[in-house]
Amino acid sequence: MKEIRVLTGRTMKLYLKNPLSILFSFVYMLLFIVLISLFLGDYMAKGMMDVYAEVEGMDFAHIRWLVDTTSMAGVLMINCILVPLNVLTIMVQDSNDNRLDSFLVSAVARNKLVVGYWLAPFLVGIVMNILCLFLSEGFIVMNGGEWLSMRSNLEMAGLIIANTFSATSILFEAAMLIKSVSLYSTFTGIMSALVGFLTGAFLPIGMFPANIQKIFALVPAHHGATLMRRVMTREPLMATFGNVTDQTVKGTYMTAQEIIDIYGAENGITYMFGNVQFPFSAMLTIVIGSGLLFMAFSIFGMEHYKKHSF
């Protein structure tokens, strides 16, 4: 255990002593807050009001609260990916500079090396993203929303742990395959560009074609973001749609639940695979299961690692 503690502490210190690394880990969150504050939040809220203008019983006074919580849940999922991604740069640097080879010829067991390098991005990701959760809530409250309930905060903390676990395990396997710091920097840039789409933060899943939406069933990050949105939007969703009754909308008779389900599916609060809605438990199983699977791959890969193969 001492070896794991030393290696984890070393990696965390190297990451935390570089302010730029920390800043780059939160660049999406800062960007989203600026955009939502300046114009994007009002634009999205107005768009939702126009789309659901014919629905009787809607409380549009809470629509901005709903829009903000939906957006910030996606940003939190982005951070669950980008923070571990940036911390793992240290492992790639060690491999590039042959320090990892020195660790491998020491008496430290290879599975302990995996845990030591893996634990640092996992722990840093949890702490920073729980902090970001409360910063996000503060931003939402400043725009007229409300703080999450104690139950929702505890659920969000659990989802942050689960999503950070999954993201760290998957990215750890990717980092093991990267051969140089420059190549990993390219990989980081690609991931930074794609992560907003994978989590549905840039475009709600309802805007993608039906066949593309089905592909998201294979993306753990998408399920993680959906779970976060489901929890964070619980209160504002009921505040906005709570008084909606069964009615005819644009010539089609719908129950109140169907109207809510349509909004949820279009905005990434629920996930529909065709006509089947993924249950909460199934999505959580995919998130945690992917983390366990890739952790096993990482241990196996380190056991068969050969010097200078990076």
Long-range pairs for 246-250: beta carbons < 8 A, 24 or more residues apart: 247/55, 247/56, 247/57, 249/54, 249/55, 250/54
Q: Is residue 309 part of a domain?
A: no
SS3 content of the chain, % helix, strand, coil (to 5): 75, 5, 20
pLDDT tens-digit series, residues 184-214:
989 988 888 888 888 877 777 877 888 888 8
In the predicted structure, residue 254 carries a pLDDT above the cut 80 = yes
Q: Is residue 310 part of a domain?
A: no
pLDDT tens-digit series, residues 182-192:
899 899 888 88
CB 147 within 8 A of CB 35: no
Its pTM stands at 0.90
In the chain, the number of structural domains is 1
Per-residue pLDDT band at 310 (split at 50, 70, 90): very low
User: Which residue range(s) make up the domain with 115?
Assistant: 2-303
Q: Is residue 111 part of a domain?
A: yes
